[in-house]
Amino acid sequence: ERTVFGSRKKLDANLLTDTAQDKSLAFTSLLLSGYHRNLSELADRATITETLGGGAVNYTLRNFKIGFTAVYGTYDAPYQARRQLYSSLVLHGNSFYNAGINYSFNWKNAYFFGEAASNGSDWAGISGFIASLDPALDATILYRHYGQNYSGPYVNAFGESSKNSDEQGTYLALSYHPS
């Protein structure tokens, strides 16, 4: 199975501008709310262009699946985070990419899964399994590691924070579902 995708769209963003030349220098944040309720929000509407391209290749053999995914994106203005303690953990510049590999397989009453990805600066990974111990009881063990410099605008993974960087941990769960 193969998938190729591409996208070009305008995004709402806060711009840094050179008022002397009336020219945009960079953007400091993307506005994801979709609201345009006041003059400030209207001024930030559709101010930068994002271009994306990528693809995925997946291979399935009986109960085993492996896949590779990659995305590359550019903005028509550089991203420049505000100078704050956490800003060293986010992407900078006009472009980004993420590439990853994922797997899953079933073995008897257990389902194993995982994914590892890199943005060129760091990596992130998650791996785990879910086992049916009884028809009414499942156990889950999951380990995650998100490197300090791992980031991406479309990264969305299981974790404690919304940034999916600089985090590691183990998740243990028992799920009881009576009939």
Please tell me the predicted confidence (pLDDT) of residue 31.
Answer: 80
| pLDDT one-digit tens code per residue, 71-85 | 999 998 888 876 655
Nearest to 114 by CA among 95, 97, 130, 98: 130
Please tell me the predicted confidence (pLDDT) of residue 88.
Answer: 46
Which of left, alpha, beta for 23 (phi over 0: left; psi -120 to 50: alpha)?
Answer: beta
The model's pTM is: 0.79
Please tell me the predicted confidence (pLDDT) of residue 90.
Answer: 58
In this prediction, residues 122-139 reach a mean pLDDT of: 95
* pLDDT over 50 at 89, yes or no: no
Would you state the structure tokens that stand for residue 30, as one six-digit string?
Answer: 């993307």
Which amino acid type is present at position 67?
G
